[in-house]
Structures are given as C-alpha cells and as structure tokens.
C-alpha cells in the first residue's frame, strides 16, 4: 500500500488543507463546553439574560465557522481521494494491458475485476476518511483531556484512565479484525469468480441441467463468506457496548467526584457540565477513530492487493527501439521452439520447426489440446517460448517493440469478441483511420457485407456488449473483417470459421486468397476442408509436429492427418474447395 501513496504527490495541497481545516473545526468544538460552562455559572447563576444571549451568539458563531471549515475539509479530502484513486485505477488498467497471457491466466479475470472495482472503492473511502479524521480524532481526544486539566486536575485524571482503557478496547478489537478482513476480501474474490462463471456460462449450465448444482456451489462459497463476515461483525460489534460501558462508568465517577468538589466549593456546576461534555466528545471521537482504523485496515489490505497486481512483472517484455524491417526469405520461422504454460508439468509444444514464405497460407490441424492455439500464440508473442526461436522477417520476435510487432498481425481469436458500439467503431479497432470504403471492402471479404446492409443503420448499427444481438456466425465474420481492414502482413484465423457453413467458409477462403497484397495466412481449424488447399499444413499431436507438407503429401505420409480427413469426408461427403 505504501508504494501507492506516490500517486498522492500531485495532491499535496489537498492532503494538507483537508486535515488542517478539520483541526480548526475541532478547535472550535473544544471551546463549546467552556462557553456552556460560562453560561451556566455566570449567565444562569447571576440571572444575566444579556450575558446568556451574548454567549449563545458566540455558540452559534462557533457552530457556523465549524460547519464552514468542516465542509471545506470535506471538499479537499474528497478531491484528493477521488483524484488519487482515479490515477491509481488508470495506472492499474494500463499495467493490466501490459501483462502477458501468462500473468492474466495465473491471476484470473475475477480477481482483476475485484481489484479494479471493490478494492479501489475501499481505498478511496480509506483515503477520504484518513484525511478527515486521522488527525482530528486524536486532536479532540487529547485536546479534551488537556482542557479537563485546565478545569480540575483530579477530575482530569479520570480522563487519563478512561482514555487508556478505551484505547486498549479499541486497538485490541482492531488488531483482532485486521486478519479477518483480509480473509473476507479473499473469499469475496471466490464469490465473484463463481458468479462470473455462472453468468458467462448460463447457456451451458442450462443445457446440462446443472442449475441446482451451481446454486449449491454458490451457496457453499457464499455461506463461507457470510459466516466469516458474521464472526468478524460479532467481534467488531463488541466495540460500542464496551466503550459505552467504560465511558458511562467514567461519567458516573466524574459526576460523583464533581458533586463532592462542587459541595466543597472547589468546582462550579458549569465546570462539571463542561467536564461531562469533554467526556462525551472523547467517547464519540474514539468510536470514530476505531471505525476509521477498521476502514483504514480494509483499505490497506485492498491497497496491498492492488499493489500485488502492479508488482506483477510481465513475462513478455518488449524493447523500445524500433527495428528496421527488412523483408527476408521467410516471413515467419520457428526454430526448435518449445513452449510450456506457467506451472504446467509438461510442454504444450515441443521442438516445433516451421518456415513460412511471404504470401503463403499455412493450415494448422490436430486434435483437441494438441497445441494449435498455443502455436499461433507464440508466433504473435502472446507467450514467449521456453527454448528455441521465433523469427519475423529473419529477426527474433523479442527484438521488436510492441506496436511494431502488432502491426504485422491481424488476429481473429477462437472466441469472437465484439464491443458495445457501432459496426464502424468495432472495425476501426483494426485500423483507426479506416474509411467507410475500406470497412466495406473488409466486410465483403469476410462475407459480412450483406448482413450489415440488412441491419438498420448499416455501419451505424449498434452492437450490444459482446455482440449479444448477433448470431455466432455473424460475430465471427465481423471479427474477421476487423482483422482484415488493417491489411496485415500476417493474418491469423484461430478456428474463426467454426460457426460458418461450408459454402460461406469456402467463399471466405477464396476471398482471402484474392486480397492484394496477399497476406501470409495461418488457419487453425478442426475442418480438413478449411485447410485442404493451404500451401503448407502442419499436423499437431500432443504438442509435436507429426506431419508437415501439402494436403496430397500428408494424405500419403501422415496417418493422423489421413484419419482426420477420412473421418470428416465420410461424415460430410463431398467438400467444396
């Protein structure tokens, strides 16, 4: 959490003024009991109505000025807290964008969402309360004790004993709750993770009639969180009764002692009332301080969780200097490439060798879990290889800065992801300044032009979040158009036509082959028909390349490819190229 405080540097003025104005407001509050005592002793005691009126006006003035200073402090503390968390949130989001797939896989989406939302809100509340109360409450407590000493030493010693006992209660409960609040935040991650899975996988859950199982699982995790929150709540709930018992006991002692002092003529009645008011102020402020410390504890725990994400070092690091791009004999080359997912026991890819010339189409096929997606992910450097090299235009992929490397690729991932906005906005992700003519050309190639023309508004048709108002095939075609619109040198289609019928798939492949200038295309597919006419096909099995060549060559030399092809032909019949 301490490392996050550097983002408060730009708001030093607010961080100074907020507690300063709060302490001035507290100073006014400390004078109130003395004015009340004066009214009782001099005004009421002497029957001086004019004096009472003057003192009441002073009381009103103290209240008014206290309100003004309090509102001013509130403004500065809120400004500092909101600005600070806004800056941290931007830094966190920017850092998450730089993390490689390995860190994202390890951390988990639900955890990152919690860090960006719940944790950041808790940090904001903690900073706001700290600036307002962290100095004010101790100032009131010790100020009230000092003011008590100015009234009567014997009575003030009651204040000293009370403050010590209250401090032990408050800090004892606080220290007990700190680790429990950390555990609560961790369990909250679990609840969010299960909720997110259920919402994103609602169709699958219903298809397999697993609603009751998922409900039971959610109840189990939620009940665990609830029990921990209740247990923590019971401990923290002890604070109010214990503090009130202590203070009321102190008040009884104070009034008893004060009555004896008044009887002896040592103290006045107004002084006893002032002491009682100071005791009440101490109680209120210590309870505020306890709540502040608990809130601060939560904020520190959340800040540490945010800091842990910021301290995650991306395993894929890019250089800053742009590389002079020289077209080599091979646009993509893999030399003895090995790849393993983080914390995995075995390689996902082993000793992959591949040479691809500019403009060639490469088909990648294999069974589920054979490493097809892993292969295109290391080519585009979403992951780094464990051993071996990946070369683009004859240069190691690690030599390229991020933007230059990404400019080579147009990528269509397995899951078709679209964003809320118009069709035009979504396709401009592929090229920021793409004209409508370029967008329409990309739509024609992806076989999506006719679909968009039929939509109300055409390119201005509003796509809902994740493309919920489009079918699976329509989403796939739009994501293909988004990749094509930038006319990349390397186009990666990762099983991106699985929702398309064979005729549309065939038209799509023909249109891609006719793109000028012709891109190098990687097609990951389960269908032999989709890669049949590729210039080169690589067959993967358990992370190893068991075959490489053209369709005709592999039919003769690769048993696994022949099995895949024969099984699909017997099931699908004639396949159109």
Which string of b and e fits 470-492 if b means at least 16 CB within 10 Å? beebbbbbbbbbbbbbbbbbbbb
350 is a domain residue = yes
Q: Which of 310, 340, 366 is the last residue of a domain?
A: 310
Q: How many domains does the chain have?
A: 2
Asked if residue 326 belongs to a domain, the reply is no
| Shared-domain flag, residues 119 and 219 | yes
Domain-located, residue 566: yes
Q: Domain ends where: 256, 279, 310?
A: 310
**Model's pTM, two decimal places?**
0.73
Residue 460 lies in a domain: no
Separation CA 201–CA 95 (nearest Å)? 28
CATH of the domain at 170: 1.20.1560.10
For residue 149, tell me if it sits in a domain: yes
Q: Which DSSP string corresponds to 127-161?
A: HHHHHHHTTHHHHHHHHHHHHHHHH-HHHHHHHHH
353 shares a domain with 306: no
Q: 228-254 burial string, b = 16+ CB within 10 Å, else e?
A: bbeebeeebeebeebbeebbeebbeeb
* Residue 293 and residue 408 in one domain: no
Residue from 426, 485, 486, 433 nearest 461 by CA: 426
Residue 71: what pLDDT?
A: 94
Same-domain status, 266 and 373: no
Q: Which domain holds residue 128?
A: 82-310
pLDDT at 570: 62
Hey, how many other C-beta atoms are within 10 angstroms of the C-beta on 192? 19
Q: Is residue 436 assigned to a domain? A: no
Check whether residue 272 and residue 387 sit in a common domain.
no
Q: Is residue 294 domain-shared with residue 369, that is, in the same domain?
A: no
Q: Do 135 and 225 lie in a common domain?
A: yes
394 & 258 share domain: no
Q: Are residues 290 and 369 in the same domain?
A: no
Q: Domain boundary residue among 246, 278, 310?
A: 310
pLDDT of residue 74: 92
Tell me the pLDDT of the chain (577 aa) as tens digits.
677 888 888 888 999 999 999 999 988 988 888 888 888 888 888 888 898 899 999 999 999 999 999 999 999 999 999 999 999 999 999 999 888 888 888 887 878 888 888 889 989 998 998 888 888 888 888 888 888 888 888 888 888 888 888 888 877 887 787 788 778 877 887 887 788 788 878 888 888 888 888 899 899 989 999 999 899 888 878 877 888 888 888 888 888 888 888 888 788 888 888 888 888 888 788 778 777 877 887 788 888 889 888 988 888 888 888 877 777 788 999 999 999 988 888 889 999 999 999 999 999 998 888 889 999 999 999 999 999 999 998 899 998 998 888 889 999 988 888 889 999 999 999 888 899 999 999 999 999 988 898 888 889 999 988 788 888 888 889 999 999 998 899 999 988 877 788 888 888 888 988 888 889 999 998 888 888 889 999 999 988 999 999 999 999 899 999 988 888 776 544 444 4
CATH number at residue 410: 3.40.50.300
Does 223 share its domain with 141?
Answer: yes
Same domain, 273 and 387: no
73 domain residue, yes or no: no
DSSP 345-372: SS-SEEEEEEEE-TT-EEEEEESTTSSH
Q: What is the per-residue pLDDT for 576?
A: 43
Decide if 430 is inside a domain.
Answer: no
Whether 377 and 295 map to the same domain: the answer is: no
């Amino acid at each position: 959490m301490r490392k996050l405080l550097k983002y408060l540097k730009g708001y030093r003025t607010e961080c100074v003024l907020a507690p300063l104005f709060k302490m001035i407001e507290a100073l006014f509050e400390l004078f109130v009991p003395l004015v009340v005592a004066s009214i009782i002793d001099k005004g009421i005691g002497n029957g001086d109505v004019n004096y009472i009126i003057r003192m009441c006006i002073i009381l009103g003035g103290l209240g008014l000025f206290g309100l003004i200073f309090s509102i001013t402090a509130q403004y500065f503390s809120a400004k500092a807290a909101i600005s600070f968390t806004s800056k941290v949130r931007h830094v966190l989001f920017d850092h998450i964008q730089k993390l490689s797939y390995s860190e994202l896989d390890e951390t988990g989406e639900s955890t990152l969402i919690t860090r960006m939302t719940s944790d950041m809100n808790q940090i904001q509340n903690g900073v706001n309360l700290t600036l307002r109360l962290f100095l004010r409450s101790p100032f009131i407590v010790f100020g009230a004790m000092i003011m008590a000493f100015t009234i009567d030493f014997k009575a003030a010693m009651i204040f000293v004993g009370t403050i010590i006992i209250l401090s032990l209660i408050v800090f004892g409960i606080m220290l007990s709750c700190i680790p429990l609040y950390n555990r609560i935040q961790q369990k909250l991650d679990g609840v969010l993770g299960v909720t997110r899975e259920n919402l994103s996988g609602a169709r699958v859950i219903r298809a397999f009639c697993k609603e009751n199982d998922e409900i039971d699982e959610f109840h189990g995790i939620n009940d665990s969180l609830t029990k921990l929150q209740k247990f923590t709540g019971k401990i923290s709930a002890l604070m109010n009764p214990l503090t009130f018992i202590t203070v009321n006991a102190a008040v009884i002692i104070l009034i008893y002692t004060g009555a004896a002092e008044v009887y002896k003529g040592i103290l006045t009645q107004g002084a006893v009332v002032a002491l009682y008011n100071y005791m009440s102020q101490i109680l209120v402020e210590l309870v505020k301080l306890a709540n502040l410390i608990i809130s601060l504890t939560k904020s520190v725990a959340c800040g540490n969780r945010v800091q842990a994400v910021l301290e995650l070092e991306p395993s894929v690091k890019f250089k800053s200097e742009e590389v002079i791009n020289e077209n080599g004999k091979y646009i993509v080359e893999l030399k003895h490439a090995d790849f393993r997912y983080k914390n995995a026991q075995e390689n996902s890819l082993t000793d992959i060798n591949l040479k691809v010339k500019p403009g060639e189409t490469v088909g990648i096929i294999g069974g589920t879990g054979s490493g097809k997606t892993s292969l295109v992910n290391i080519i585009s450097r979403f992951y780094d290889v464990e051993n071996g090299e990946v070369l683009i235009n004859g240069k190691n992929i690690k030599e390229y800065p991020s933007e230059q490397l990404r400019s080579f690729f147009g990528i269509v991932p397995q899951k078709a992801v679209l964003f809320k906005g118009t069709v035009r906005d979504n396709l401009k992700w592929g090229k920021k300044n793409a004209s409508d003519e370029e967008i329409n050309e990309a739509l024609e190639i992806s076989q999506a032009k006719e679909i968009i023309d039929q939509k109300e508004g055409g390119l201005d048709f509003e796509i809902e979040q994740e493309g919920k108002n489009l079918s699976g095939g329509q989403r796939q075609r739009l994501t293909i158009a988004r990749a094509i619109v930038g006319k990349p040198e390397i186009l990666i289609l990762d099983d991106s036509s699985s929702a398309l019928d064979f005729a549309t798939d065939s038209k799509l492949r023909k249109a891609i082959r006719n793109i000028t200038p012709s891109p190098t295309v990687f097609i990951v597919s389960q269908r032999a028909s989709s890669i049949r006419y590729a210039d080169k096909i690589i067959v993967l099995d358990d992370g190893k390349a068991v075959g490489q060549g053209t369709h005709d060559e592999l039919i003769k030399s690769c048993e696994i490819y022949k099995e895949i092809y024969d099984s699909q032909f017997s099931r699908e019949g004639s396949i159109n190229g």
